[in-house]
Amino acid sequence: MSDMIKIAVDAMGGEGSPKKIIDGIILNHHKNKDNFFKIFGDKEKLFNLINKKISEEYYEIINTENVVKSTDSPLEAAKRGKDTSMWLSIESVKNKEADIVISAGNTGALLVISKLNLKMIENIDKPALSALWPNKKGMSVVLDLGANIECNSKNLLDFSIMGASLYTSLYPNEMPNVALLNIGTEELKGNEVIKETYQILNDKNSDNFNFEGYIEGNELMNGKVNVIVSDGFTGNVALKTAEGTANFIINELKKTMTGSILGKISSLLNVSNLRKFKKRLDPRLYNGAIFIGLNSPVVKSHGGTDYIGFSNSLDVCNKIVKGNLINKIKQNI
């Protein structure tokens, strides 16, 4: 167990919990024996779901009395008490009993309780919510996705360094190419904060990433840039737009391929290509937003994902710890 990566799991948050959480842990364990799971929640329910499906040397259940509800405001969640599965799982990372924490629960509550329990990395003013997006060549890290609505140039500079560190942790053999999300690629475009950040990054010679200037929304998936930086308002709108577009394309394709005899014949002839296309846009592959800037990493699994998506976010946890993310950020800051 000493060599294993210890993942603290809030098993009670998100739709279909705790069953989908435990099913995700079981699936992940069958692929990877590197992880030890500290599972927080209703002990009786959890034990009945996991019993005999995983050897007890790979997990521990910590009984919790209370749950943060999806309807709780962040303040209500923090006041609900220190006996919730979310609070105690985060606290276990604070107490160095686990390396990383993951929850599929209430996002606002997770951010607030994480901030209350975990200190900020020195010289970083605001933590950021980041996630993985597909692009033509592989994956991109995008941040901030909603933790900070307003940002100054120092925050965006920090996000650039943290995003590049995260990318290097996940993909150690690739160089991060950083760009600022903007309304144009010309130097004079954008607000004062963006322009100021551009100048700082342009003048900064970093060994840890290449600065590629500005990127527009229609270029996010072209693969030239793999770390995309913005304030939380812009980033969240871009993320929701991309998710909605991907769902729209998949649904329209389904309708076309099943709506007529010609469509059905065409779909049968193209079944292999259609499977590849659907898999490429499957949001479960990119599940797991990462809250970075705190002294310990916090991973947020999408509340509506299934056990496969949750298992994939456990892979992200494993890579972050193995890639030594927090030390990379501290060195680069």
Whether residues 282 and 301 share a domain: the answer is no
Question: Could you tell me if 15 and 60 lie in one domain?
Answer: yes
If you average pLDDT over every residue of the chain, what do you get? 87
Task: Look at residue 58 and tell me if it is in a domain.
Answer: yes
Measured distance CA(147)–CA(291) in Å, rounded: 9
| Distance separating alpha carbons of residues 327 and 320, to the nearest angstrom | 11
Which two three-digit tokens encode residue 55? 């050897």
Angstrom distance (rounded) from CA 101 to CA 230: 25
Does residue 333 belong to any structural domain of this protein?
no
Domain interval for residue 101: 1-124+293-326
Both 234 and 179 in one domain: the answer is: yes
Beta strands 210-215 and 128-135 are: unpaired
- Residue 232: inside a domain, yes or no? yes
Residue pLDDT, tens place only, 190-223: 889 999 999 999 988 788 899 999 999 888 888 8
Asked if the structure places residue 103 within a domain, the reply is yes
Do 173 and 203 share a structural domain?
Answer: yes
Residue 193: inside a domain: yes
Domain identity same for 97 and 7? yes
What pLDDT is stored for residue 282 in this prediction? 59
My answer on whether 279 and 303 are in the same domain is no
Sheet containing 59-63, strands listed edge to edge, beginning at the edge strand earlier in sequence: 59-63, 35-41, 5-10, 100-103, 298-300, 289-292, 128-135, 138-143, 227-229, 177-181, 210-215
**Same domain, residue pair 280 and 303:** no
CATH number, domain of 27, equals: 3.40.718.10
Q: Examine the pLDDT at 103 and tell me if it is beyond 80.
A: yes
Of the pLDDT bands very low, low, confident and very high (cuts 50, 70, 90), residue 305 is confident
Same domain (yes/no): 141, 271: yes
Both 281 and 139 in one domain: the answer is yes
Domain count across the chain: 2
Are residues 94 and 140 both part of a single domain? Answer: no
Query: Could you give the CA distance from residue 236 to residue 239 in angstroms, rounded to a whole number?
Result: 5
Taking only the tens place, the pLDDT of each residue in 272-296 is 655 665 565 555 666 678 999 999 9
Q: What is the mean pLDDT of residues 159-187?
A: 91
pLDDT of 186 above 60? yes
Q: What is the DSSP letter of 212?
A: E
Residue range 16-42: mean pLDDT, rounded: 94
Are 153 and 43 members of one domain? Answer: no
Query: What is the value of pTM for the model shown?
Result: 0.85
Band (pLDDT 50/70/90 cuts) for residue 265 is low
User: Do the domain assignments include residue 272?
Assistant: yes
What is the arithmetic mean of pLDDT over 303-329? 89
Q: pLDDT-derived band of residue 263, with 50, 70 and 90 as boundaries?
A: low
Mean pLDDT, residues 139-165 = 92
Split at pLDDT 50, 70, 90, the class of 269 is low
Question: Does residue 214 sit in the same domain as residue 313?
Answer: no
